[in-house]
Every structure is written in C-alpha cells, then in structure tokens.
C-alpha cells in the first residue's frame, strides 16, 4: 500500500492488491458491528465500506 496525493491535493491511497482492500473492509465491518454504538456513525462507516467495495471490484475485473 502506498500513500500518494491526487492532482487536487486531497490525500489518496493506492492499493497494490485486492487483498489489501478486503482486509480494510473486514476491519471496518468488524469495528462497525462490535464497537460502534451510534447509528449515525454506523451509517457513515457503511458508506466507507461501499466505497471500498467499488475499489475491490476494480481489482476483480483485472
């Protein structure tokens, strides 16, 4: 995993494998299910998981 910057200067992360993405997705899901009690925060984490799902699909299309 490499840290880089997008052309518009927002921080970005580049992944080398789908396994890296899946590991982060699993960690987010576990955190949401077992640690987060606030429903608003759970929804925010679900949205992040959805974005990682899109990234994982990019790796699976190769």
pLDDT at 62: 62
Average pLDDT value for the chain? 89
Scan for tokens 């190769």, then name that residue. 62
The upper half-sphere exposure of residue 10, i.e. CA atoms within 13 Å in the direction of its Cβ, equals 4
Confidence tier at 9 by pLDDT (50, 70, 90): confident
Would you say the pTM of this structure is higher than 0.85?
Answer: no
Domain ranges of the chain: 2-60
pLDDT digits (tens, 9 = 90+) for 22-51: 999 999 999 999 999 999 999 999 999 999
Confidence tier at 1 by pLDDT (50, 70, 90): low
């Amino acid at each position: 995993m490499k840290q880089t910057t997008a052309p518009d200067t927002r921080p970005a992360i580049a992944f080398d494998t789908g396994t890296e993405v899946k590991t982060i997705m699993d960690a987010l899901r576990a955190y949401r299910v077992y640690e987060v009690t606030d429903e608003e925060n759970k929804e925010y984490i679900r949205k992040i998981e959805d974005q990682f799902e899109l990234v994982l699909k990019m790796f699976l299309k190769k």
